[in-house]
A and B are shown apart, each in its own frame.
Chain A
């Protein structure tokens, strides 16, 4: 248990120190801010494409941070130490996933609605938008860690991880952006709340399978 908590604390501290969240947030903001320049001053169009745009930019921003989950541990020898612990590797991977979620994805998701203002999303919708993104956020970390672990050890593993994870993100993207369009159309809470549960259940499944897949992948890599 101590190892679990120590690892979460260390990874959040490292994410903070390396400003991983800051980088992802900046990437996301810049991507969203560039779109209006490309599309021209059509407010209605911006509003129509905002749901898909926000999700795609968000997922890309998360992909940027995936390489950092395992690469450093493998390179500096920390991983050998993880294997020589009483705590099962799967549990330690859960710790790493949680730390990535808290240290990188959560700050990103919580600042993302600000970008909504750039896309002509009205202020009353911001809170539901935030809720949808939040519901999708665990899936982003735990699906992402699978790809990150499977690509570990390959040079430029970040790119390879991105390629593997993108297809896994498709359900999140579909449910997430359809719920967002509902909200922006002013639909009642009952119309999009199901999407929240769907996203949460994808996240739950990823929370279970992500650490298992990551541990298996990294063990196979080390042998």
Chain B
């Protein structure tokens, strides 16, 4: 359903060795090790403030590291980052938001029409609604459709389940499994168990 791209031509490796990160003089995490290859999905677990979001942003290249070594593909357009914020313009309609990201990220190269994508996301009937009128779960679904309009091998998902109902979680799981089958790579931070992850990474075992 998602697309027919296959990422296996170039195997992707993300390897962190004793990663350490400070944010405004506070130590967020230290000594993180992990190795991720194409086809793997890792779930990052940890208490509030343990640094899950920071780790994802570091991997995306949005934040600098203060120690350790991180091997990652440098090309920014290999990464999809789904943050806490949905990167949606409330004044625009659902369809306009999706088309914008399709053009911005995907160069309009998506082989699936926006209508079909919205249909798959379960918000097909809302295409012409103002995004502000959507519930938070529906907005989350719309943000997740960004993963479909531009095929990129590395998905970094920060609390992807926020606001999603069971139906939405199933949709995301199917989408993620299809992505892994195509040799994609997923790193997700979540408090809830994710059905598609194969590896776990715990940050911040002790309280600080």
B12: A residues at CB distance < 8 A: none
Please give the distance in Å from B11's CB to the nearest CB on chain A.
21
A2: B residues at CB distance < 8 A: 103-104, 107-108
Please give the distance in Å from A115's CB to the nearest CB on chain B.
29
Q: Does B85 contact A (CB under 8 A)?
A: yes
- The one of A10, A13, A80 in contact with B62, judged by C-beta atoms closer than 8 angstroms, is A80
The chain A residue with its CB closest to the CB of B103 is: A6
Of A82-90, A99-107, A187-195, the segment with at least 4 beta carbons within 8 Å of chain B is A82-90
Provide the A3-39 mask, 1 if CB < 8 A to any CB of B, else 0: 1011100100110011000000000000000000000
- The one of A10, A76, A86 in contact with B86, judged by C-beta atoms closer than 8 angstroms, is A76
- The one of B89, B100, B108 in contact with A76, judged by C-beta atoms closer than 8 angstroms, is B89
- The one of A78, A84, A222 in contact with B76, judged by C-beta atoms closer than 8 angstroms, is A84
Q: Are A223 and B89 in contact (CB under 8 A)?
A: no
In the assembled complex, the Cα of A223 lies from the Cα of B85 at a distance in Å of 17
B63: A residues at CB distance < 8 A: 222-223
A222: B residues at CB distance < 8 A: 62-63
B86: A residues at CB distance < 8 A: 76-77
B60: A residues at CB distance < 8 A: 80, 84
In the assembled complex, the Cα of A86 lies from the Cα of B90 at a distance in Å of 25
- The one of B62, B91, B100 in contact with A6, judged by C-beta atoms closer than 8 angstroms, is B100
CB-CB under 8 A for A77 and B103, given A18-B91, A84-B76, A223-B63: no
Instruction: Place the interface of chain B in its size category.
Output: 20 to 34
CB-CB under 8 A for A85 and B77, given A6-B100, A10-B100: yes
CB-CB under 8 A for A76 and B104, given A14-B91, A18-B91, A83-B76: no
SS of A interface (majority): helix
From 55 to 94 in chain B, residues with beta carbon under 8 angstroms from any chain A beta carbon are 57, 60-64, 75-77, 79-81, 83-92
B79: A residues at CB distance < 8 A: 84
Q: Does B177 contact A (CB under 8 A)?
A: no
Q: Does B105 contact A (CB under 8 A)?
A: yes
Q: Does A155 contact B (CB under 8 A)?
A: no
B104: A residues at CB distance < 8 A: 2-3, 6-7, 81, 85
B88: A residues at CB distance < 8 A: 76
Q: Does B7 contact A (CB under 8 A)?
A: no
- The one of B57, B84, B101 in contact with A81, judged by C-beta atoms closer than 8 angstroms, is B101
A14: B residues at CB distance < 8 A: 89, 91-92
CB-CB under 8 A for A81 and B62, given A72-B89, A86-B76: no
SS of B interface (majority): loop
A: number of interface residues (CB 8 Å): 23
In the assembled complex, the Cα of A10 lies from the Cα of B103 at a distance in Å of 11
13 contacts between A and B (CB under 8 A): A10-B92, A13-B92, A17-B91, A76-B89, A76-B90, A80-B83, A81-B81, A83-B61, A84-B77, A84-B81, A85-B104, A222-B62, A223-B63
Q: Does A75 contact B (CB under 8 A)?
A: yes
A84: B residues at CB distance < 8 A: 60-62, 76-77, 79-81, 105
In the assembled complex, the Cα of A81 lies from the Cα of B87 at a distance in Å of 8
In the assembled complex, the Cα of A222 lies from the Cα of B64 at a distance in Å of 10
Provide the B127-158 mask, 1 if CB < 8 A to any CB of A, else 0: 00000000000000000001000000000000
B62: A residues at CB distance < 8 A: 80, 83-84, 222
The chain A residue with its CB closest to the CB of B107 is: A2
A3: B residues at CB distance < 8 A: 103-105, 107
A5: B residues at CB distance < 8 A: 103
The chain A residue with its CB closest to the CB of B152 is: A84
Please give the distance in Å from A126's CB to the nearest CB on chain B.
35
Q: Are A85 and B64 in contact (CB under 8 A)?
A: no
In the assembled complex, the Cα of A17 lies from the Cα of B57 at a distance in Å of 32
Q: Are A85 and B87 in contact (CB under 8 A)?
A: no
A223: B residues at CB distance < 8 A: 63-64
